Amino acid sequence: MDRNLAIQAISDRSTVWDCLVIGGGATGLGTAVEAASRGLRTVLVEKTDFAKGTSSRATKLAHGGVRYLEQGNISLVREALHERGLMLKNAPHLAHPLNFVIPAFRLWEIPFYGIGLGIYDLLSGKLSLGRSKMLSPSETIKKLPTVEQSRLRGGISYFDGHFDEARLATTLALTVSDLGGVVVNYVEVAGFTKKNDKVSGVNPSR
Ligand SMILES: Cc1cc2nc3c(=O)[nH]c(=O)nc-3n(C[C@H](O)[C@H](O)[C@H](O)COP(=O)(O)OP(=O)(O)OC[C@H]3O[C@@H](n4cnc5c(N)ncnc54)[C@H](O)[C@@H]3O)c2cc1C
């Protein structure tokens, strides 16, 4: 990935691009990989550094959206768990399983979260990151030594994924380049050019 060559490529006004992606966060980089891998002439421009926006401020969890399970959105959770599994399978050096423990201070919380997270496990199928487990108070304290102990009834242990967003972003940018696309940072789209009332290009500012 050579920045000078990339600048040269985007400066050539005669080049016709099939796909222009504005913004090199998680969404833009992923979109550019998809476009370039389908053989589209792809260019991505990012006004600061790759993934410097919202993508660097996230919790970096590759999760199946456990809160959507509570809302009954099973198909969304199933799809997100599948994507989570693929991410950990395809990039084990960038994403890994992370163990969470929910402490329970009321007895009903143990079966409530236990059954919910059991369903979460089942929905992940073969791409499960590890089974969830109901914990006794002493097992919960072992995992969470600073937990409030006086009212503790137990806990639930479950797994989700955690990823390195900076390295993932860099890897996606390199992948776009390997696929023949152009990615360039510190180039801002300042406006659009139009032909016959339709957007035909952009005005970059550097
Ligand atoms: C507190 C918090 C926690 C989160 N936790 C998680 C989590 O654990 N797991 C998860 O999956 N998601 C999480 N998210 C959601 C996730 O961070 C976002 O969905 C994701 O980062 C959005 O990426 P993006 O590429 O759409 O946006 P951004 O990362 O903001 O990227 C947009 C990019 O566009 C660039 N840009 C803007 N205008 C221009 C222009 N004119 N020219 C060129 N470039 C431009 C910006 O510089 C920026 O880099 C969290 C979000 C927040 C706020």
Question: What residue ranges do the domains of the chain occupy?
Answer: 3-55+166-205, 61-163
Three-state DSSP class for 111? helix
Span from the CA of 20 to the centroid of ligand 1 (angstroms): 18
Per the rule left: phi > 0, alpha: psi between -120 and 50, beta: everything else, 65 is left
d(CA 87, CA 60): 12
pLDDT tens, per residue, the chain with 206 residues: 888 999 999 988 888 999 999 999 999 999 999 999 999 999 999 999 999 999 999 999 999 888 898 888 999 999 999 999 999 999 999 999 999 999 999 999 999 999 999 999 999 999 999 999 999 999 999 999 999 999 999 999 999 999 999 999 999 999 999 999 999 999 999 999 999 999 988 988 86
Residue 140, pLDDT score: 97
Most informative mutation of 55, 63, 79, 172 for ligand 1 (most atoms within 8 A of CB): 55
- The CB of 25 under 6 Å from ligand 1? The reply is yes
Residue 191, pLDDT score: 93
Beta partners for 191? Answer: 203
Looking at beta carbons, which pairs linking 110-116 to residues 24 or more positions away fall under 8 Å?
110/134, 110/153, 110/154, 110/155, 110/156, 113/156, 114/156, 116/66, 116/69, 116/70
d(CA 4, CA 178): 16
Residue 122, pLDDT score: 94
Would you identify the CATH topology of the domain 3-55+166-205?
FAD/NAD(P)-binding domain (3.50.50)
Residue 206, pLDDT score: 64
Span from the CA of 55 to the centroid of ligand 1 (angstroms): 4
Span from the CA of 26 to the centroid of ligand 1 (angstroms): 6
- The CB of 30 under 6 Å from ligand 1? The reply is no
How far apart, in Å, do the first and last CA atoms of the chain sit? 19
User: Could you tell me where the DSSP H helices lie in 125-181?
Assistant: 137-143, 165-178
Per the rule left: phi > 0, alpha: psi between -120 and 50, beta: everything else, 189 is beta
CB 45 within 8 A of CB 188: yes
- The CB of 95 under 6 Å from ligand 1? The reply is no
CB 84 within 8 A of CB 127: yes
The alpha carbons of the chain give a radius of gyration, in whole angstroms, of 22
Q: Which protein residue has the closest C-alpha to ligand 1 atom 25?
A: 25
Nearest CA-CA partner of 141 in 125, 127, 158, 155: 155
Most informative mutation of 21, 56, 57, 59 for ligand 1 (most atoms within 8 A of CB): 59
Span from the CA of 190 to the centroid of ligand 1 (angstroms): 19
Beta partners for 98? Answer: 160
- The CB of 155 under 6 Å from ligand 1? The reply is no
> Degrees (nearest 5) of the Cα angle 122, 124, 126?
95
With 0.85 as the threshold, say if the pTM is over it: yes
Instruction: Give rounded-to-5 percent helix, strand, coil for the chain.
Output: 40, 25, 30
